[in-house]
Chain A
Amino acid sequence: KAGVTQTPRYLIKTRGQQVTLSCSPISGHRSVSWYQQTPGQGLQFLFEYFSETQRNKGNFPGRFSGRQFSNSRSEMNVSTLELGDSALYLCASHFTGVGGEQYFGPGTRLTVT
């Protein structure tokens, strides 16, 4: 089975711009979660999508948004980028039944200058 894939792997943007990151989950997984990882704050939950609906949301400003498509692929968007948004953005997919651990992709490294 192919793993979770994320594109692009690296991205450099300027303050004020917006960015869209993409995640393709493992085949058959309908839940996709997004996390932000920084040296200062560690791994923080952004949001989870299940069957095209946002099921859980972390404590991030409204500039961070996401969506999920009918094929379970997900995108997250960050608008009006700030320097503090520089981070590794990780996507995880999982089967929502018993025993469904989360599988992470390699992440997208976003640098905001």
Chain B
Amino acid sequence: GESVGLHLPTLSVQEGDNSIINCAYSNSASDYFIWYKQESGKGPQFIIDIRSNMDKRQGQRVTVLLNKTVKHLSLQIAATQPGDSAVYFCAENMLGGNGGSQGNLIFGKGTKLSVKP
């Protein structure tokens, strides 16, 4: 698919295992962080977000951890399934004056997750 880079780090996991995808962000002033999933031939799809006043947020089968001290994000996927195979991107942003996100996301390079059945 056109979304996959030629030199992306790859994480290969067995179906049913937990996956952890890591990301280092660049701007210490960023206060809003998002994880996206991109499947071949599709645009990025929102998974979960977290604001800088939190260090952990859980969704359905996914958890995002934020460590502002070392500017690090991680995405944990529980009981990984073949349908989770995709490229995962973290993105950072600064919230606007109304508390809403702005449109200028800064994306990480992405990690390709491959799930073996």
- Which residues of A line the B interface, CB within 8 A? 4, 31-33, 35, 37, 39-40, 42-45, 48-50, 55-56, 58, 88, 90, 92, 94-107, 109
A residues near B104, Cβ cutoff 8 Å: 33, 45, 48, 56, 58
Contact sample, A vs B, 28 pairs, CB 8 Å cutoff: A31-B103, A33-B105, A37-B2, A37-B3, A39-B4, A39-B5, A42-B107, A42-B108, A42-B110, A43-B44, A45-B103, A48-B102, A48-B103, A55-B102, A56-B102, A56-B103, A56-B104, A58-B104, A88-B2, A92-B105, A96-B98, A97-B98, A97-B99, A98-B98, A100-B100, A101-B34, A102-B103, A105-B43
Q: State how many residues of chain B have any CB contact under 8 Å with chain A.
A: 31
Report B44-57 CB contacts with A as 1/0, cut-off 8 Å.
11100100000000
Chain B interfacial positions (CB closer than 8 Å to A):
2-7, 34, 36, 41-46, 49, 89, 91, 96, 98-110
- Give how many A-B residue pairs fall within 8 Å (CB-CB): 92
New A-B contacts (12) at CB < 8 Å, excluding given A42-B108, A97-B100: A40-B6, A42-B107, A43-B89, A45-B107, A56-B104, A92-B103, A97-B98, A98-B98, A101-B49, A104-B36, A107-B2, A107-B3
Asked if A102 and B105 make an inter-chain contact with CB atoms under 8 angstroms apart, the answer reads yes
Q: Which of B43, B101, B102 contacts A106 (CB 8 A)?
A: B43
Report the minimal beta-carbon distance from B57 to chain A, rounded to whole angstroms.
13
Q: Which secondary structure dominates where chain A touches chain B?
A: strand
Task: Determine whether the beta carbon of B100 is less than 8 Å from that of A95.
Answer: yes
B109 touches A42 (CB 8 A): yes
Bound complex: CA of A72 vs CA of B72, how far in Å?
Answer: 35
Query: Which residue from chain B places its CB closest to the CB of A4 in the assembled complex?
Result: B43
Q: How far is the CA of A100 from the CA of B105 in the complex (A)?
A: 13
Contacts of A50 in B (CB 8 A): 103
Across the interface, do A42 and B103 meet the contact criterion of CB distance under 8 Å? no
* Contact residues in B for A31 (Cβ distance below 8 Å): 103
Residues on A with C-beta less than 8 A from B110 are: 42-43
Q: Roughly how many angstroms separate A109 CA and B40 CA in the complex, as a whole number? A: 13
Closest to B98 in A: A97
Give Cα distance in the complex from A32 to B104, angstroms. 10
